[in-house]
């Protein structure tokens, strides 16, 4: 695959989600380039490439998942490494972008960490960013370099279309998820309901308060961008059960699954929990009713198009 503008396609994986990186490489019929990425005893991270990337079109794949700060530093150090080895162009591929919820100064004396992260990625050497389902689309604007934000929307949507569920309603897990849930409902051609949730100021505890829309005797898909501690999803599920719904499906792009998510999901009345592999999910968190859809092919195709200088947007045109 020859790029009109850059050298060879060079895919690298840092350590956060190697299985996804391998899927991406397989979909591009190539192999991940070799690099040692390790920590010294003092936790300083070191990277050494196995071969030159001079003039190459380099993509570094790293999700910013737990341990978040180590994984962010790995990404930054890998960016710096390939830049110093004279890569032709460098794309940071961050299927899951951390700190997405720290994206505005909504109270006095707080940071905008998503912006800080954008600056750090740029300073480290990235020429472009490829990411998925940012918590807030505006985060793209924190970068001065091009950002391709891809959505798992079609992948998730197609999965549910294939299930041919009847009397289906899409439920937004909270008001913030209403717009994306509405689009999801529209794509599935089913009604939308919204759970009105209020979050306590200084904790992960959430409270579901009310449901706007008709859900009784319906099968429901609760839609959100991510499941973190699963407080939002599971309180919505317990709440909807009281409202007399039938089967409940959870649907989200990012399975962050911070404790106590696994326990909460296990105890909640979900028929199925459908997520993608933007976050690598360890075996202990793979519940029997968990379905993981891979974004590997999707990201592979986007990388192919970026490499060849083709439109990415056209992939999603109807
Ligand atoms: C919040 O604004 C997001 O859309 C998700 O609802 C939130 O990140 C989920 O977090 P948790 O699973 O901890 O409730």
Give me the CATH number covering residue 234: 3.40.50.2020
Q: Select from 145, 146, 168 the least CA-distant residue to 157.
A: 168
Residues 140 and 16 in one domain: yes
d(CA 54, CA 194): 51
**Ligand 1 centroid from CA 232, angstroms:** 6
Which residue of the set 104, 180, 197, 266 is catalytic? 197
Domain that holds residue 259: 153-293
CA distance 224 to 133: 10
Whether pTM > 0.75 for this model: the answer is yes
Across the range 33-51, mean pLDDT stands at 98
The pLDDT of residue 55 is above 60: yes
59 assigned to some structural domain = yes
Q: Do residues 139 and 23 both lie within one domain?
A: yes
User: At 217, phi and psi to the nearest 5?
Assistant: 65, 15
Q: Tell me how many domains the chain contains.
A: 2
Ligand 1 pocket test target in 228, 236, 251, 275 with most atoms within 8 Å of CB: 228
Q: Which two tokens stand for residue 96?
A: 């899951």
Residue 4 lies in a domain: no
Residue 129: its H or E element: strand 128-132
Q: Which residues are within 8 A (CB) of 85 and not within 5 positions of it... i.e. 6 or more apart?
A: 49, 52, 53, 54
Nearest CA to ligand 1 atom 1: 176
Asked whether residue 195 is domain-assigned, the answer is yes
Q: Tell me whether residue 105 is one of the annotated catalytic residues.
A: no
Pocket test for ligand 1, best of 179, 225, 261 (most atoms within 8 A of CB): 225
pLDDT at residue number 18: 98
Is the pLDDT at 199 greater than 70? The verdict is no
Q: Both 199 and 113 in a single domain? A: no
pLDDT in tens, 6-40: 899 999 999 999 999 999 999 999 999 999 999 99
Go through the chain and tell me how many residues it has: 318
Q: Check pLDDT > 60 for residue 202.
A: no
**Quick check: is 3 in a domain?**
no
- Show the tokens assigned to 177: 């998820």
């Amino acid at each position: 695959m020859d790029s009109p503008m850059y050298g060879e396609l060079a895919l690298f994986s840092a350590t956060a989600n190697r299985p996804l990186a391998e899927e991406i490489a397989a979909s591009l019929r190539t192999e991940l380039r070799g690099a040692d990425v390790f920590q010294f005893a003092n936790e300083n991270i070191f990277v050494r490439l196995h071969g030159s990337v001079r003039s190459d079109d380099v993509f570094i794949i790293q999700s910013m998942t737990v341990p978040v700060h180590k994984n962010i530093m790995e990404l930054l150090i890998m960016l710096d490494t390939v830049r110093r080895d004279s890569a032709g162009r460098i794309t940071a591929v961050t299927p899951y972008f951390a700190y997405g919820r720290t994206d505005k100064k909504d109270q006095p004396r707080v940071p905008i960490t998503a912006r800080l992260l954008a600056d750090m990625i740029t300073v480290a050497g990235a020429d472009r960013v490829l990411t998925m389902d940012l918590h807030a689309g505006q985060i793209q604007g924190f970068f001065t370099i091009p950002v391709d934000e891809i959505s798992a929307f079609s992948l998730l949507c197609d999965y549910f279309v294939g299930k041919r569920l009847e009397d289906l309603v899409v439920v937004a897990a909270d008001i913030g998820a209403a717009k994306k849930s509405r689009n999801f409902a529209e794509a599935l051609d089913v009604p939308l309901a919204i759970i009105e949730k209020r979050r306590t100021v200084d904790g992960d505890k959430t409270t579901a308060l009310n449901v706007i829309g008709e859900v009784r005797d319906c099968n429901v898909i609760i839609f959100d961008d991510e499941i973190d501690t699963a407080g939002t999803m599971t309180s919505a599920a317990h709440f909807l059960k009281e409202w007399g719904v039938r089967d409940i499906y959870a649907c989200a792009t990012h399975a962050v699954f911070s404790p106590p998510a696994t326990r909460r999901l296990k105890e909640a009345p979900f028929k199925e929990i459908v997520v993608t592999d933007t976050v690598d999910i360890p075996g202990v968190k793979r519940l029997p009713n968990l379905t993981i859809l891979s974004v590997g092919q999707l990201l592979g195709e986007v990388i192919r198009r970026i490499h060849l200088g083709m439109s990415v947007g056209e992939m999603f045109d109807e």
